[in-house]
Amino acid sequence: MGFPNWAKNILFLLVYMISGLVLVIIIEGLLSGSDLTPLNTAIENVVVQVRTPLLTTLLVWMTKIGNPFILASVSVFMAVMLILRRNAYDAVLFLTTMIIAVLSLTVLKNVFQISRPISDIYSADGWSFPSGHATVATAFFFMLSHTFFGKMKTLRAKTILIVGSVVGTLLICFSRLYLGAHWTLDILAGIALGLLAVSFTVLMFNVFLSNRRSLRKRLNL
């Protein structure tokens, strides 16, 4: 039994408000100069202590899988598959979410232009804030769950989808911290921005298309 649309809208509105608040708090800290540096330092010190050659190899592999370009490419492929299955609505929703996530993180990176931490085990280019991997991975896996949750026939399948999405997101985010490619605040801001992109897009689609069944039906022809 699925959730009614009003309940889904309330859930996404809560996600939108909470993730937006977290992002605002982090940005306010950056602008005021009290950018929670102790948090960055404390987490970095903990992560350094757990580094091992095997774990480093595994997380380099994970961070490569979570590359924003790769996840964006997979999103396009999935959208094509959805269209071929006569589900253009979800395809457009998925792609719109990913585009908003990528554009938002690009704008923030160029506005703040924060340098990355110095790492002796991994080299990364570009600005640090917010994390592109965290933003895109969060948006991708959140949308993956949203798109296919209702299509899963059993509770077990739904659970695997949700748990897999959460674990995938966390592993990619942790890989960036572990490798020293980002500060902790970069990751937290990226997660918040990814959730913000998903919740905003879903709410907009629900508000403007939920009562236009003919338009939504045409998209799925």
Give pLDDT tens digits for 49-60.
888 889 999 999
79-116, pLDDT tens digit by residue? 999 999 888 888 999 999 999 999 999 999 999 988 88
Say how many residues make up the chain.
221
- The more confidently predicted of residues 218 and 46 is 46
Residue 140 CB neighbours (<10 A)? 28
16-45, pLDDT tens digit by residue? 999 999 999 888 888 876 656 677 778 877
Listed by start position, the domains of the chain span 5-219
Residue 138's contacts (CB-CB under 8 Å, 6 or more residues apart) are: 101, 169, 173, 190, 191, 193, 194, 195, 198
Burial class (CB in 10 A: 0-12, 13-18, 19+), 58: middle
Positive or negative: CA dihedral 182, 145, 69, 23? negative
For residue 128, the Cα-to-chain-centroid distance in whole angstroms is 16
Q: Which among 108, 112, 105, 115 has a CA at the least distance from the CA of 135?
A: 105
Torsion angles phi and psi, residue 201, rounded to 5:
-65, -45
208 pLDDT more than 60: yes
Confidence class of residue 135 from pLDDT cuts 50, 70 and 90? Answer: very high
pTM of this structure: 0.88
Query: What SS3 state is found at 32?
Result: helix
